[in-house]
Every structure is written in structure tokens, then in C-alpha cells.
């Protein structure tokens, strides 16, 4: 199973921007080798929502993966409920309207669960709750 890391995004100093914090944290632990395909999972939010990660942060991670020789792509899944992210077409449009484009992030945006959100698999976990 992959490791997931969390970082407090608040800056203690004005010059400690979020992209710089991300670079410092990930440059020490990035387990990427030359030629690796690397998925960068995001939540792109509903249209107009502001509670998602910013594209500049995603670009920072993309650039780090590329500098390590990896081939990054940004990925998201559709929703189970009827929203602007219910199928891949709508999700890609919503992502773009919120600033998540190949040109802003430096990597392709791929919908992980397919065109209609039906491409997936069941994964067994230890325990009853994920």
C-alpha cells in the first residue's frame, strides 16, 4: 500500500510559500525512479468551489516528479452522486474551469474510473472500514 503524507500548509514566515514547503517535504521522500509513471491524485472540486488544492501546488509536485525522471499524470475520479463531476466529460470540464489543465499543471489530466465512472476494482483491506 502506498504511503500518504500530510503537511500543515500554514507558513511561519511570509517567504515560506506552500509550493516551497511542498518542495522541501517531497524532495527528501519522493520514491520516483527514471521512467516511473506517477499518479498524482487530486480533488478538483465542484465548479467555483475554493476548498480544493490549488493548481500551482499540483504543478510543484509534477515538476518534482519530472526532475526525478518520472512521468507524472494528474488523476481524479468521478462522483457517485449527480454533480458537475458525475462523468469524465463533465469532470474534465469542471477541472479546467477550476484551473486544472495540462498547461497549468504540466501533466495530463486522466479520469481514473473511465468515461462513465464505471471502471474500477474492489480492493480488500484489513478491517471493516477504510
> Phi then psi for 42, rounded to 5 degrees?
-125, 170
**pLDDT at residue 35 in the model:** 93
**pLDDT at residue 93 in the model:** 94
pTM of the model: 0.78
Closest C-alpha among 58, 25, 19 to residue 39: 58
**pLDDT at residue 48 in the model:** 82
* pLDDT tens over the chain, length 130 residues: 677 767 677 778 867 888 888 887 777 777 888 999 999 999 988 888 888 889 999 999 999 999 999 999 999 998 877 777 778 899 999 999 999 999 999 999 999 987 777 777 888 888 887 6
Q: Where are the domains of the chain?
A: 34-111
Q: Kindly give the interhelix angle for 18-29 and 55-67, rounded to the nearest 10 degrees.
A: 30
**pLDDT at residue 14 in the model:** 65
Residue 124, C-beta contacts closer than 8 angstroms, at least 6 positions apart: none
> Phi then psi for 76, rounded to 5 degrees?
-150, 160
Amino acid at each position: 500500500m502506498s504511503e500518504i503524507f500530510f503537511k500543515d500548509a500554514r507558513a511561519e514566515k511570509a517567504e515560506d510559500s506552500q509550493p516551497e514547503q511542498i518542495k522541501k517535504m517531497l524532495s527528501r521522500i519522493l520514491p520516483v525512479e527514471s521512467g516511473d509513471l506517477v499518479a498524482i491524485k487530486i480533488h478538483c472540486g465542484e465548479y467555483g468551489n475554493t476548498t480544493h488544492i490549488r493548481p500551482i501546488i499540483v504543478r510543484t509536485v509534477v515538476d518534482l516528479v519530472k526532475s526525478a525522471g518520472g512521468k507524472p499524470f494528474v488523476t481524479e475520479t468521478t462522483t457517485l452522486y449527480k454533480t458537475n463531476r458525475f462523468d469524465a466529460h463533465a469532470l474534465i470540464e469542471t477541472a479546467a474551469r477550476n484551473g486544472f489543465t495540462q498547461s497549468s499543471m504540466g501533466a495530463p489530466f486522466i479520469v481514473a474510473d473511465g468515461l462513465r465512472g464505471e471502471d474500477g476494482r474492489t480492493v480488500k483491506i484489513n478491517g471493516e472500514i477504510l
